[in-house]
Structure 1
Amino acid sequence: MGVVNVTPDSFSDGGVWFDPEAAIAHGLRLWEQGADIIDVGGESTRPGALRPDEPEEMRRILRVVAELAGAEVVVSIDTMRAAVAQAAVASGARIVNDVSGALGDPAMAEVVAAAGVDFVAMHWRGHSVDMQSRAHYDDVVADVCRELAARVAALTAAGVAPERIILDPGLGFAKLPEHNWALLRALPDLVATGHRVLVGSSRKRFLGLAGRDEQTIRPADARDIATAVTSAYAADAGVWGVRVHDVVATRDALAVRRAWRGESEDGR
């Protein structure tokens, strides 16, 4: 899943793809580089970010979604708003990727159920402006698994087909670095739920700190090697997908993993 942030303030590339023409070109480039899905988002979810209003989020993403979908790109819409999700699906999006797991908008589950599209439910404890204050867990793996199970129950009760639900542990969202590493080590537990699992570690701060300290942390645009390594380990754990900014690095890492294991392109 290649990332297209149509935002002025995303943590890794804020503003670079804010112009719709630039965002569309970037999405097509990621697709040509081997992304299976292009994830288009109009709201930054970096810690401390403020939300755009709904009309502004619509303005940012709808043309991008429509033009990519018109070019036969598989598009995912990254939004917490049901109305935005509904409009994006009408414009050609095939997946709704909601970092709130439908907690941010009570109408989301009904919209997704009616649309019959795949739905990514991420572990979430609150909006970006104060989410890091909620990074308190008795046992982060058990707590995240339990809270995701509650989302699955609520979504299926609202009519979302269980096979449509994809789970995301929410790395970096109300998580400290030690929480993120614990969740990555526990990916087989999430995969064992029977739901597809999406991992979004790309360029996140905890990767910048791996082997470093606060004074020597890698900047966001220097974390693609660490992201690619994470993608290969995630593939070994059996995840369905990885959400990345640099598609080429991750495709290369996955190709090396397959060759190492003697697998073909389709995993056999």
Structure 2
Amino acid sequence: MTYYRPLVQHGEARPEGAVPLAGSALWFTEVEILNREGPPRVAPVGFVPEAERRRLSARRPSIAGLDMTQPQIMGILNVTPDSFSDGGRHSGIETGKAAALQMVADGATIIDVGGESTRPGAEEVSETEEIERTAPVIAAIRAASPVPVSIDTRKATVGMEALEAGANLLNDVSGFTFDPALAPLAAQASVPVCIMHAQGDPATMQDQPTYANVLLDVYDFLEQQIDRLEATGVIREQIVIDPGIGFGKSQAHNLTLLRNLSLFHGLGCPILLGASRKGFIGKIGKEPRADARAPGSIAVGLAALGQGVQFLRVHDVAETVQALRLWQAVR
């Protein structure tokens, strides 16, 4: 199989033959051609077959009412006692609602509510407990604001209760491999989904993760899961993909994915990046405190936006939005 990674550029002046990236203001004239048998090579965009070129260039339909030609900021709302950087801070209905509304005021365009920690080493939470943590908070947010809400869960029962409470998107860190009932639920409810790649489960995922080729292995998994969800009845235009930074990846794996994010536009879906406060940011940035990693998280996020990523999933909303405004202004 051959893969095509657009070499992304920006600017109002474009050379003849430049192809827009996912219908955005970004564009490309060359691609890196990748396969598993030989070294990569750079070639003009004309070498890309028509079907693949259309998928790379087509404008992405809106997701939960959000414009995919503009960067969207997903605020992380962990209503758990043990999340890796903010466990316990937002548990409880009123506390969770207040935190969500503050993120909206700070510029978040969607809120991601999670009731089960997926930090390395985390144990599974019962469906009942996860529902009790998330559904009332989602209902409270929905009663107070029209902001889209996603439910961060691997479980169909939790997802169903979240949708009943007003959630707009199903975000599954297992890539819809954990609970076979979750994909049919998404199809029946006609809601957008986010497929994330993870190797292993949270309890074991950082125990020496290995890949034949991390970039192409993650791409192939996401393509396979997109096809599987389409077969279930989920429409491709409502699928978001996430390469799963930090989920069964070493620092080298994370950096390889981050350097090559534009490859994933070949899947024809919006891309979500969740790198906020992750361990590799602390290691490279020499910051052991997770809640002090906003600068490193923002640096990674802006680099991803330069490759056309549509969603940044972040803890530090106000700081990220400020950086985004300046990034857009100077570009």
TM-score over 0.5 (shorter chain): yes
Q: Which residue of 2 aligns with 1:13?
A: 86
Residues 29-108 of structure 1: pairs in structure 2 closer than 5 A: 29-71=102-144, 72-108=146-182
**Quick one: which amino acid aligns to residue 235 of structure 2?**
A
Q: Which residue of 2 aligns with 1:121?
A: 195
Residues 235 and 254 of structure 1 are in contact (CA less than 8 Å); yes or no, is this contact kept in structure 2? no
* SS of equivalent residue, structure 1 residue 133: coil
Q: Deviations along 1:167-226, whole A, 9 cap, x unmatched?
A: 0000000001111111011110012321100000000000111143xxxx4310110111
* SS of equivalent residue, structure 1 residue 183: helix
Which runs of 5 or more structure 2 residues have no equivalent in the other structure?
A: 1-73
User: Among residues 220, 233, 241, which one is paired with 2:303 in the alignment?
Assistant: 233
* SS of equivalent residue, structure 1 residue 196: coil
User: Among residues 276, 290, 314, which one is paired with 1:244 in the alignment?
Assistant: 314
1:162 to partner: Cα distance: 0.5
Residues 231 and 253 of structure 1 are in contact (CA less than 8 Å); yes or no, is this contact kept in structure 2? no
1:179 pairs with 2:253: yes
**In structure 1, what is the Cα distance between the partners aligned to 2:299 and 2:323?**
7
Q: Deviations along 1:113-142, whole A, 9 cap, x unmatched?
A: 111111000002222111123610111101
Residues 97 and 137 of structure 2 are in contact (CA less than 8 Å); yes or no, is this contact kept in structure 1? yes
1:31 to partner: Cα distance: 0.8
User: Among residues 223, 233, 240, which one is paired with 1:149 in the alignment?
Assistant: 223
Q: In terms of Rg, which structure is larger? A: 2
Q: Deviations along 1:52-86, whole A, 9 cap, x unmatched?
A: 10000000001100111122221110000011111
**In structure 2, what is the Cα distance between the partners aligned to 1:255 and 1:181?**
25
Q: Which residue of 2 aligns with 1:265?
A: none
Q: Which residue of 2 aligns with 1:264?
A: none
1:257 to partner: Cα distance: 1.1
Residues 123 and 148 of structure 1 are in contact (CA less than 8 Å); yes or no, is this contact kept in structure 2? yes
**Quick one: which amino acid aligns to residue 206 of structure 2?**
Q
Residues 171 and 194 of structure 2 are in contact (CA less than 8 Å); yes or no, is this contact kept in structure 1? yes
Residues 274 and 314 of structure 2 are in contact (CA less than 8 Å); yes or no, is this contact kept in structure 1? yes
**In structure 2, what is the Cα distance between the partners aligned to 1:58 and 1:193?**
32
Residues 199 and 249 of structure 2 are in contact (CA less than 8 Å); yes or no, is this contact kept in structure 1? no
What is the TM-score normalised by the length of structure 1? 0.93
Higher relative contact order (CA 8 A, sep 6+): 2
Q: Which residue of 2 aligns with 1:135?
A: 209
Residues 148 and 168 of structure 2 are in contact (CA less than 8 Å); yes or no, is this contact kept in structure 1? yes
1:18 to partner: Cα distance: 1.5
Larger CA deviation: 120-129 vs 167-176: 120-129
Q: Which residue of 1 aligns with 2:96?
A: 23
* SS of equivalent residue, structure 2 residue 194: strand
CA RMSD of aligned residues (A): 1.0
CA 1:211–1:18: 2 relative to 1, 3 Å: closer
Larger CA deviation: 31-40 vs 184-193: 184-193
* SS of equivalent residue, structure 2 residue 330: helix
**In structure 1, what is the Cα distance between the partners aligned to 2:188 and 2:297?**
35
Q: Which residue of 2 aligns with 1:198?
A: 272
**In structure 1, what is the Cα distance between the partners aligned to 2:303 and 2:120?**
26
* SS of equivalent residue, structure 1 residue 203: coil
Residues 92 and 137 of structure 2 are in contact (CA less than 8 Å); yes or no, is this contact kept in structure 1? no
Instruction: Name whichever structure is richer in helix by fraction.
Output: 1
User: Among residues 247, 253, 262, which one is paired with 2:323 in the alignment?
Assistant: 253
Residues 199 and 239 of structure 1 are in contact (CA less than 8 Å); yes or no, is this contact kept in structure 2? yes
* SS of equivalent residue, structure 1 residue 238: coil
* SS of equivalent residue, structure 2 residue 284: coil
**In structure 2, what is the Cα distance between the partners aligned to 1:83 and 1:227?**
32
**Quick one: which amino acid aligns to residue 118 of structure 1?**
P
* SS of equivalent residue, structure 2 residue 158: helix
After the TM superposition, list the runs of 4 or more consecutive aligned residues in structure 1 that deviate by more than 6 angstroms. Answer: none
What is the TM-score normalised by the length of structure 2? 0.76
